[in-house]
Amino acid sequence: MPLGLLGKKLGHTRVYDASGNVVPVSVVLCGPNRVLQVKTQAGKDGYNSVQLGFDDQKEQRLTKALLGHIKKQNGVAVKRIKEFRDFSKDVKPGDIVGPTLFAPGDFIDAIGVVKGRGFEGVVKRHRMAGGDSTHGAKGWHRRGGAIGQRLFPGTVMRGMRMPGHMGQDTRTTQNLEVIQVREADNLLLIKGAIPGAEGDYVVIRESKKRPKGWKPPVQPISKKKADAKAAAAAKK
């Protein structure tokens, strides 16, 4: 996790790019992130990481242990703390980092907790088709069907898809493009949707599959297409 930030999802909107195309974006408040602690391979921790804190908090609302840890690093009370391993930016305790860690065109991964849906049936939770609506199938329109076994094994198979709690799970959306970086407002405008409801905390990290400097692979052109392209250029 070379680069990362803690943020808060504010909502969705749309902006226009240089060509005048409409781009749907998610607005994320990504600052200020305060550096609370820096761990090094040579130190007692034995690995490299950076602890970031986000969203200032009253000291009286923190536990004594957590407040003591923050005070030891000469930091201020925060609501959220996240540790990022192998942080590629050189920082020290007390520094403030923000959305300028990323630039327009960079790709990120967004980690958040999806909305809770409560107790749901198999049709909504697992997209099952349900039973027939005709031919006397009374009471089986939105059910999953039989789940039992015969004498062997005589039990419900583990992992059977059934009704239950839906949502409220941690999810990661990968390879989202940063459209705008608004330093004055500590905002990142990210193309597409990210997990969570408005006001939820999210983690924005550098994309694992598309790190900084990544470019899409060049598609090879077949000989037939290359000859046609050369012929069209010659006619001009």
pLDDT digits (tens, 9 = 90+) for 159-168: 999 999 999 9
At 203 the three-state DSSP class reads strand
Q: What is the mean pLDDT of the chain?
A: 91
pLDDT digits (tens, 9 = 90+) for 39-87: 999 989 999 999 999 999 999 999 999 999 999 888 889 999 999 999 9
pLDDT digits (tens, 9 = 90+) for 181-224: 999 999 999 999 999 999 999 999 999 999 888 888 887 777 77
- 36 and 130 inside one domain: no
Query: Residue 81 — left, alpha, or beta (φ > 0 → left; ψ -120 to 50 → alpha)?
Result: beta
The whole-model pTM stands at 0.83
CA distances (Å), origin 168, targets 117, 151, 188: 8, 37, 24
Check which CATH number belongs to the domain holding 39 and give it.
Answer: 2.40.30.10
- 209 and 125 inside one domain: no
Question: How many separate domains does the chain show?
Answer: 2
| Rounded Cα distance, 15 and 191, in Å | 10
Range of the domain at 160: 118-166
* Range 121-127 average pLDDT: 95
- 73 and 122 inside one domain: no
* Range 90-97 average pLDDT: 91
Task: Report CA Rg, the chain.
Answer: 25
Assign 1 a pLDDT band (cuts: 50, 70, 90): low
